[in-house]
């Protein structure tokens, strides 16, 4: 994996850490709201990282991979919280 593809890992890590923090510390009725905030933070981080890279080749692929991965993690944690 090239260093440019590694730019998606921090976004996925933020979404996973954010989902765990929300699940542990937040009241059940507020979890969906906070998970939406975690996802918004992931989108912002995606664009910050991609702007720091300064490469237009593969921008859409990297940004899509970051956001779809974060969305998958947040969606899975939402499903888990709904079952609990």
Please give the pLDDT value at position 73: 96
Q: What is the pTM of this model?
A: 0.88
Q: What is the DSSP letter of 54?
A: T
User: Does pLDDT of 2 surpass 70?
Assistant: no
Angle at 36 between CA 33 and CA 40, to 5 degrees: 140
For residue range 20-52, list pLDDT tens digits in order: 999 999 888 899 999 999 999 999 999 999 999
Q: What is the DSSP letter of 26?
A: S
């Amino acid at each position: 994996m090239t260093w440019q593809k590694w730019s998606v890992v921090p976004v996925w890590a933020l979404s996973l850490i954010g989902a765990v923090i929300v699940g542990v510390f937040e009241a059940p009725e507020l979890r969906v709201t906070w998970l939406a905030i975690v996802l918004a933070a992931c989108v912002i981080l995606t664009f910050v990282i991609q702007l720091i890279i300064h490469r237009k080749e593969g921008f859409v692929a990297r940004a899509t991979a970051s956001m779809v991965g974060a969305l998958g993690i947040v969606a899975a944690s939402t499903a888990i919280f709904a079952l609990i």
